[in-house]
Structure 1
């Protein structure tokens, strides 16, 4: 029987967590400091034991909503793709998830739990009192050659990349400075305005991510310039171990005819591959991503509440946020 035990992080704990083959950037101390700061949340780390022997680790963060303790691993809106477990290859994830329930609602004192673990499948969730949504992500294997990666893209995507090069679009790597966050966010506002929306987070979240990940060398920041040297598109791409993630990309609508977005992705794929990264994760399954030759991977987002009332409050909060976003966008347009 597996059990979870809350622990305080120290150098030995981080060193052990870094030995697990399923480790992700979202399990690193730098990323957790970023989430804790941007969400005003408290990291909660636990070991997973089997007969007293450590066989894995759990990562979550505690926050408060409606006066209740919420354990997110992660929560929607945290701009964090996956947390959950790091486990030895022979440890079933369903067994670890089953052990998480009494821990979350007992020792951790949570009223609500959410989890999105890259290794969990829908088959692992049945019979545990969980509700879940399908939340697939689009990934690209970087193991093939550059020629094969390019050939796997849709023909229109390849044409756009060639067009950008012929038009004089260039890509540059950017140092981790707050000024880049302002550039990116200004373009992001333009992206959302196209849909009569506003960004779901503030520019301070971008600054926080850069501030925490930049010194560790775990984020690639890219800028695309037009032939006149103007910045027309940007991308934020955290990476660690075997995976690079598309955390955010933005561009000005008036320059999208130069196709800077495809060019940024193509640059990032080659950059990551040259450093031994074997997977590019788009962090979501929107249809436009398929043009890059992606494969869809199912990653359910599961949740469980102590009571039906808590579950209702969670769903109402999600709907309220979407309404607020549309309302703010309309007010901004009027001004």
Structure 2
């Protein structure tokens, strides 16, 4: 993949842009194998490649410049805007939305936030693409100064961008390096974006998490489902479940499935998906995953964990190690923390692993690994 922004030195977010893609994939597989080399019984399946460009289903764009001439992109080291509206890793449908965003910024007189001066109103625009082609558009404001203008222009905005099924306004009053605040007002009748993968319909709320590479997310869920189908557990927990991707993919008649997630909005979305799919034996719980497991008298036959980059941590790892859980599927976005967690789970033997290239053009990747209890 070639990128004019990278070649010009304007953006180096994709640090591997100059490396041939097959070499990227091989390097990631070798990096993961080195980190997990102590587990001699572990067999690596062929790494799952991704489409090289246009794979991102989410654009988290900083708005800078002026109302008359806004930049849509990122900030440089000094806090000044760099326009990246033609970024090649963003899906074409996202790039097609940027001219509409720019036009409405100008027409409504939305004032971009100036980071060095700490002045202005419009901080970010976050756009998510569903497999159906529908979009979720989120305007992130410092205050409610522009809220009425955005609300009243909704009909015109959706006419200009018909794919925008969910439109919301988020408020981030603090000056800090985060994308969004706690308060969010959805302007459209539709409150969730439908995200169907592998025939499983899921619902994404504005502040919910979903993998940024739809193609690889689908492959990740299929791999987990394949393992679960082969093992046929009677009970399964999906910890750090988000909108329920693993739980919903691994649900089956007679199997008791519980998903645990700290985000109440994500749990609500997962519950709606389970209801839509008629999964009566699949339920979801709002709460901290570690607190949930230590409060249980007995674990299930199989546990899926999909933690943030820091990993599952000592308490969760020790609980899994000492429990009667027969199988664990660990989906990790950070093989370094995965290796650290595995050291605490000596009673569970890593059997199979697969690198999933969720983030082409960067050093990051996902790895999914299956463990079984030693006899």
Q: Do the structures match in fold with TM over 0.5?
A: no
| Greater length-normalized contact order (CA 8 Å, ≥ 6 residues apart) | 1
Structure 1 length-normalised TM: 0.28
Structure 2 length-normalised TM: 0.26
Q: Which has the higher helix share?
A: 1
